[in-house]
Amino acid sequence: MVTAETAVTIPVVLLVLALVLTSVRVGIDQVRCVDAARAGARAAARGDDDAAVREVVLRQAPRDSSITLGRTGGDVVVTVAAPPVLDVAILSSLPAPGARAVGAIEGGVGGARSDP
């Protein structure tokens, strides 16, 4: 009787453990995306070129993340999207980790404004 209970319990425990570890991984990737987007927005707002901004973002973003840089008016927008942790059909409806950060371009960057 104990053997039958163990045979049922062990797969359930392993499934719960896998779900917990996957959830932790998604959370970590989300935090890394937020940090990477913020660091990229700060670098772009300082006036760093796009290659330097991408390097800053790639250092902090999860592996194989996609990065989008944009400028609108006086703001820079950095978007980081990480690939899904698991590519399983059941989990495909869940959002993948990602973040977007906006930073105001600092005055004087690129000669846009001069102080007297």
Cα(20)–Cα(23) distance, integer angstroms: 5
Q: Quick one: pLDDT band at residue 116, thresholds 50, 70, 90?
A: very low
Other residues' Cβ atoms within 10 Å of the Cβ of residue 14: 10
In a domain, residue 105? The reply is yes
The upper half-sphere exposure of residue 16, i.e. CA atoms within 13 Å in the direction of its Cβ, equals 6
In a domain, residue 116? The reply is no
In a domain, residue 71? The reply is yes
Q: For 82-101, how does the pLDDT look when each residue is reduced to its tens digit (9 = 90+)?
A: 988 776 656 666 778 999 99
Q: How many domains does the chain have?
A: 1
What is the residue range of 78's domain?
2-109
Residue 29: per-residue pLDDT: 93
The string of DSSP codes covering 69-94 is: EEEETTEEEEEEEPPPS---GGGTTS
In a domain, residue 82? The reply is yes
Cα(54)–Cα(37) distance, integer angstroms: 10
